Chain A
Amino acid sequence: MTGFLELSGLSKRFRGLRAVDDVSCRMDEGELFGIIGPNGAGKTTLFNLITGTLRPTSGEVIFRGDRITGLKPDAVARRGIVRTFQATTIFRDASVLDNVRRAYLLRAMYQPGQLGGYREKLRSAETEAGEVLELLELHRMSGQNARELPYGSQKLLGVAMALATRPRVLLMDEPAAGLNPNETRALGGLFQRLRSRGINIVLVEHDMRLVMSVCDRILVLNYGRPIALGRPDEIRADPQVIEAYLGGADEIA
């Protein structure tokens, strides 16, 4: 296995606050990588640094051997690193199908092999979107207006849109927040299916049971600093991790 996505000394300061503080780690190809930490630990900020939404104060992001630090979010996405958002982020006035179709189309605009006509693109967007919706079990709602979906489904729709761009790495920011236990279990199954399609997943999640059951390795952040990195059983037994979570609302399952 080679280093696939690599963070090296990545830091972000907001005024005096060290939101992300010297994070280095190497994610391997095919690995399902988890990032956990108490509220405000810097998880979302870390995603923002990887995707180019924020510029790091220092450090590098390396993807398949290339420095991608400082690239704009769209350029990072076009390289195959696509994120989902912690808050629901969808085109609220479009139908579910239309949301996914658009996501596919936006990406297809940049693919030279796909310079067919609009109709052609629309048709392939249509089939592609149908498949993705089926994968996420949203296909029964495909005609519905996105804003009418329950919160959990809106979040899944966000995942569907990211998938429609055919990412190599999918960064998910708390996809299970707002899902009921059944949906969360289904999400666990989805991760396995995505993985078998060769999509790498980096998961930020508060649902410990989910994280512990699906992730190969987990990075724990506390006040922006990495305090532990290892397999779920190692993380569960780590005294520093237990310390960080003591008194917090989160519990280690």
Chain B
Amino acid sequence: MTLRIVVMVAIAAMAIGWPFLLENRYITHIGVLIAISITTSVSLNMMLRIGQLSVAQAAFMGLGAYTSTLLVMRLGVPFLLAFPASGLLVAAIAAAIGPIFLRVKGVYFVLLTFAFGEGIVLMFQEWVSLFGGNNGIHGIPKASLFGTSMVSLRSYYFFALGLAGVTLFTSIVIFRSAIGTVLDSLNENEALSQSLGVNPLSYRVAVFAVAGFFTGLAGSIYAHYTGFLSPDAFSFWSFVDMLVINVIGGIGSPFGPVIGAILLVPLPELLRDVRQYQMLTYGLLLLTAVLFLPSGIVGGLRELQRRWRAR
């Protein structure tokens, strides 16, 4: 336990400290992408842990991104307000559709959220006057906090890292609390849990809304960081990225997607020269994980630890 805390503090210190030791724009850029990806993947992980594969997560990120962008660009809302608003709007949407969507399980939920996601992307594409269509929106202003514009890469890194940290912390706290016990019980035996007085839907909707909230916030940072939005960034494939990150890192723990994001996000950048092999590498990694590490890297590490203890 204490060892675990030491390791966690060390990793946190490294995540915060390295940009001061190593000033490399390129690596910092990847760092921002990883931090954003951790936020979205840990959010998806919350849904996976309640047994619901939500394909809507990518669309949620898009809704957060466009909300923040439009609030800032069209209405002149300061980023400091547009940022939380993007998370809250997505949470509200999740809370509104949740009671309908979360009534169904398994394949049906996957299909419903898939259709929802496609619908949202279609809206981004077709409602040109508002969302800019397939040309997207250019020249999104940099995020500004308290009147000072965030221009340095490093400030984005810390902002995105902070959000990733809060998301991770929230996920851990939720699943370690009494609420986590309820969620696990629902997962294991819904009829029994319900017969003991738990309303399954309300708990699931709450998790859906929390996952949507953080994903929306991640979308906002993404928009103002890249300065450019186009609908295809929030397509089905961006959901697949989040899912692969979870599967390879490990679904059973909130740290799984953290490890997954750190390993997988840099890949497309590293493989830039051999672009045609990118999907292949992805596929091979996924295949290896599914065959040899069914519980992901975190699951594999746990297994190692168990064997080590059993010696």
Chain B contacts with A in 196-241, Cβ cutoff 8 A: 196-200
Q: Compute how far the CA of A162 lies from the CA of B193 in the bound complex, rounded to whole angstroms.
A: 10
Q: List 30 A-B contacts (CB under 8 A).
A: A51-B195, A53-B191, A72-B194, A73-B195, A74-B195, A78-B197, A82-B195, A82-B196, A82-B197, A83-B195, A85-B191, A85-B192, A89-B192, A91-B188, A91-B189, A92-B188, A102-B181, A102-B185, A105-B182, A106-B182, A106-B193, A106-B198, A107-B196, A109-B178, A109-B198, A110-B197, A161-B196, A162-B195, A162-B196, A165-B196
Chain B residue nearest to A94 (CB atoms) is B188
Q: Compute how far the CA of A83 lies from the CA of B197 in the bound complex, rounded to whole angstroms.
A: 11
Q: Is the CB of A165 within 8 A of B197?
A: yes
In the complex, per-residue mask of A121-142: 1 if CB is within 8 Å of any chain B CB, else 0? 1100000000000000000000
Q: With A72-B199, A102-B185 in contact, do A91 and B194 touch (Cβ < 8 Å)? A: no
B152: Cβ under 8 A from any A Cβ = no
Chain B residue nearest to A84 (CB atoms) is B195
What's the least CB distance linking B37 to chain A, in Å? 30
A-side contacts of B148, CB under 8 Å: none
Q: Compute how far the CA of A165 lies from the CA of B197 in the bound complex, rounded to whole angstroms.
A: 8
Q: Is the CB of B197 within 8 A of A107?
A: yes
Q: A85-B195, A102-B181, A108-B178 provided; 4 other pairs, C-beta below 8 A?
A: A72-B199, A85-B192, A89-B195, A109-B198
Chain B contacts with A in 152-179, Cβ cutoff 8 A: 176-179
Q: Compute how far the CA of A240 lies from the CA of B20 in the bound complex, rounded to whole angstroms.
A: 89
B-side contacts of A51, CB under 8 Å: 195
Per CB-CB distance, the 4 closest pairs between chain A and chain B, nearest first, are: A77-B197, A74-B199, A106-B196, A78-B197
Q: Which of A75, A92, A103, A161: most chain B CB closer than 10 A?
A: A103
Q: Compute how far the CA of A72 lies from the CA of B200 in the bound complex, rounded to whole angstroms.
A: 10
A-side contacts of B194, CB under 8 Å: 72-74, 77
B-side contacts of A92, CB under 8 Å: 188
B-side contacts of A82, CB under 8 Å: 195-197
A-side contacts of B192, CB under 8 Å: 85, 89-91, 161
Q: Is the CB of A91 within 8 A of B185?
A: yes
Interface of A is mostly: helix
Q: Compute how far the CA of A75 lies from the CA of B199 in the bound complex, rounded to whole angstroms.
A: 8
Q: Is the CB of A109 within 8 A of B196?
A: no
Q: Compute how far the CA of A231 lies from the CA of B193 in the bound complex, rounded to whole angstroms.
A: 35
* Interface magnitude class on chain B: 10 to 19
A-side contacts of B197, CB under 8 Å: 74, 77-78, 82, 106-107, 110, 165
Q: Is the CB of B196 within 8 A of A118?
A: no
A93: Cβ under 8 A from any B Cβ = yes
Residue numbers of B with Cβ under 8 A of A are 176-179, 181-182, 185, 188-189, 191-200
Which of B177, B179, B189, B198 has a CB less than 8 Å from the CB of A74? Answer: B198
Q: Is the CB of A105 within 8 A of B178?
A: yes
Chain A residue nearest to B193 (CB atoms) is A106
Q: Compute how far the CA of A89 lies from the CA of B193 in the bound complex, rounded to whole angstroms.
A: 10
Q: Which of A72, A90, A109, A161: most chain B CB closer than 10 A?
A: A109
Q: Compute how far the CA of A78 lies from the CA of B198 in the bound complex, rounded to whole angstroms.
A: 8
Which of A75, A78, A106, A108 has a CB less than 8 Å from the CB of B185? Answer: A106
B-side contacts of A91, CB under 8 Å: 185, 188-189, 192
Chain A residue nearest to B192 (CB atoms) is A89
In the complex, per-residue mask of A64-99: 1 if CB is within 8 Å of any chain B CB, else 0? 000000001111011000110100011111000000
Which of A85, A121, A162 has a CB less than 8 Å from the CB of B178? Answer: A121
Which of B189, B199, B200 has a CB less than 8 Å from the CB of A89? Answer: B189
Q: Compute how far the CA of A162 lies from the CA of B194 in the bound complex, rounded to whole angstroms.
A: 11
A-side contacts of B199, CB under 8 Å: 72, 74-75
What's the least CB distance linking A86 to chain B, in Å? 12
Q: Compute how far the CA of A122 lies from the CA of B196 in the bound complex, rounded to whole angstroms.
A: 17
Q: Compute how far the CA of A90 lies from the CA of B195 in the bound complex, rounded to whole angstroms.
A: 11
In the complex, per-residue mask of A156-183: 1 if CB is within 8 Å of any chain B CB, else 0? 0000011001000000000000000000
Q: Is the CB of B182 within 8 A of A74?
A: no
B-side contacts of A122, CB under 8 Å: 178
A-side contacts of B191, CB under 8 Å: 53, 73, 85, 89
What's the least CB distance linking B53 to chain A, in Å? 22
A-side contacts of B196, CB under 8 Å: 77, 82, 103, 106-107, 161-162, 165
Q: Which of A75, A102, A108, A121: most chain B CB closer than 10 A?
A: A102
What's the least CB distance linking A88 to chain B, in Å? 10
A-side contacts of B179, CB under 8 Å: 109
